[in-house]
Amino acid sequence: MIDFELDETLQGVRDMLHWFAESEVRPVALAADRAHAFPDAFLRKVKEMGISMGALSRAEDEQKQRKGPKTVNRVAAIASEELAWGDGAFMLSVPGPGLGGPPVQFLGTPEQKERFFTVFTKDAEARYGAYGLTEPGAGSDVASIRTTCRREGPDWILDGAKCFITNGGRAEWVVIFATSDPSRGREAHRAFVVEKGTPGFRVGKIEKKMGLRASETAELILEGCRVPDANALGTNEGFLGAMKTFDTTRPMVAAMAVGIGRAAIERSTQFARDSGLLKATSMRARLIADQLATAERKLEVARLLIWRASWMADEGKPNAREASMCKAYAAQSALEACTVAITAMGAAGCAGDSLVEKWFRDIKVFDIFEGTGQIQRIVISKRLLEGLKGF
C-alpha cells in the first residue's frame, strides 16, 4: 500500500531542494525570463551541487544494487515540484540527460548507457541530452512521424525534421525517433542517439515562446544524417521506448505544474492577506476566498495522483493510465490556480515585474507538452474501456 507520508530521507530531499529554489532560483527567475536563458556560471553551480535533470535514469540502475524500497521516481516527482516552484524554466534547464535519459535507460545496452550517460560527468561543464519525437506534422499522433531511417552498410541514414525540442540546440546528443516504413505506423519505429556534430545533423531555429522563455526550445534538421548502428537503441522498439518514457516523465511534468500552481496560490494568498482583501465582507472577497480554497484543494489532489503514479513506477507496476490521469488533472488544476492568482491580485498580478504574471504565461504549455490533455483523456478512456469494440 502506498504511504503518503514522506520518510526522513524524502523529507530531507524536499527541504534541501525547496531551500535551493527559494534562495538561488527564485531571485534570478525574472532576469532569466527576460534574457531567455540562465547564466552559464549559474548552471555550472547547479551541476556542482549534484542537481541533474534525468538523473533518475542512472539512479534506477544504482538502486537495483541496494536493498530497501525503491523511491527513484518519487524523488524525481518531489524534486520536479520544488524546483518548478522556484521556476519552471529552470527545471527544464537543469543540466543532464533530461527527457533523453529514459529511452536510453529502457532500450540501451549496458555499453550504450555507459557511453552516453558518462558525457554528463566527465567535467564541470553543464551538458544536456534531449528527446526528439515531435515533428511539424506529428505531435500527439506519435504513429504519424515522418522522419525516416534506412540501413546503408554499417550505418543508418536519417532524414526529417523535429520541432519544439527542449535543449535541442545545446544537447550533446538527442534521442531521435524515426520510421523505416511510414505505411507500417508504430511497428516500424526506431530510436537512435544522434550526437552533436554528426554530419547531416543541424540545429534550425530557436523558438521564441510566450512562457518558459529561459528554457531553450529548438528545431532539429536531419538531412542524410549518417548514424552508426552502435547508436541504434533496441531493435524495433522505438514506439515502446517513447511510450515507456511518457509513463516515467508525465508524473514529473505534472509535478512541475503543481509546483508552479502552488507558487501562484501562495503568492496571491499572501497578497490578499497583506492588502486586507480577505477581511472584507464584499461578494468579491468571498468569491476570491472560495476560489483560492478550491484551487488549493485541486493541487493537493493532483499531488496525490502524481505520487501514486510515481510509486507504481518505482514498484514496477504498469502505470500508463495513472501517469495520464495525474498529467491531465495537474495541468488543468495548475492553470486554474494561476488564473485565480491573477484574479485575486488584479493589476499587481499582471505587472511585467510580477512573478505571478510570469507563472501565468508559463503554465499553459503544461496542458500541451508531454501529451496534450486531450491525449491523456484518450489514454485513460482506452484503458477503462479496453476490450470493447472500437477501443
pLDDT in tens, 7-38: 898 899 999 999 999 999 999 999 999 999 99
With 70 as the cut, is the pLDDT of residue 241 above it? Answer: no
272 phi and psi angles, rounded to 5 deg: -65, -40
Q: What's the pLDDT score for residue 54?
A: 62
More confident site: 244 or 183: 183
Beta strands 129-132 and 173-179, pairing class: parallel
Mean pLDDT of 75-103: 94
The CATH number of 129-236, from 2.40.30.10, 3.50.50.60, 2.40.110.10, 3.40.30.10, is 2.40.110.10
CATH 3.50.50.60 fits 8-120, yes or no: no
With 80 as the cut, is the pLDDT of residue 295 above it? Answer: yes
- Alpha carbon distance 195, 227 (integer Å): 9
In the chain, CATH 1.10.540.10 covers 8-120
Three cell numbers, residue 91: 527545471
pLDDT category of residue 237 using cuts at 50, 70 and 90: low
Contact 190, 208 (CB under 8 A): no
With 60 as the cut, is the pLDDT of residue 65 above it? Answer: no
Q: What's the pLDDT score for residue 141?
A: 76
Helix 283-314, helix 72-86: angle, nearest 10: 150
Choose the weakest-confidence range: 212-216, 254-258, 317-321.
317-321
Q: Which residues are catalytic?
A: 370
With 60 as the cut, is the pLDDT of residue 57 above it? Answer: no
Mean pLDDT of 207-216: 96
Q: Which of 191, 88, 212 is nearest to 145 (CA)?
A: 191
In the chain, CATH 2.40.110.10 covers 129-236
Contact 258, 302 (CB under 8 A): yes
pLDDT category of residue 69 using cuts at 50, 70 and 90: low
pLDDT category of residue 322 using cuts at 50, 70 and 90: very high
Contact 216, 208 (CB under 8 A): no
pLDDT category of residue 67 using cuts at 50, 70 and 90: low
Mean pLDDT of 363-381: 90
pLDDT, tens digit (0-9, with 9 covering 90-100), for 116-149: 999 998 888 899 999 999 999 877 777 789 999 9
Contact 204, 161 (CB under 8 A): yes
Architecture of domain 239-384: Up-down Bundle (1.20)
pLDDT category of residue 2 using cuts at 50, 70 and 90: low
What is the SS3 assignment for 5?
coil
In the chain, CATH 1.20.140.10 covers 239-384
List Cα–Cα distances, 97 to 118, 166, 170, 276, 379, in angstroms.
Answer: 10, 11, 12, 46, 27
> In degrees to the nearest 10, what's the CA dihedral of 55, 60, 65, 69?
110
- 45-56 per-residue burial string, b: 16 or more CB within 10 A, e: under 16: ebbeeebbbbbb
pTM over 0.85, yes/no? yes
Q: What is the chain's mean pLDDT, rounded? A: 89
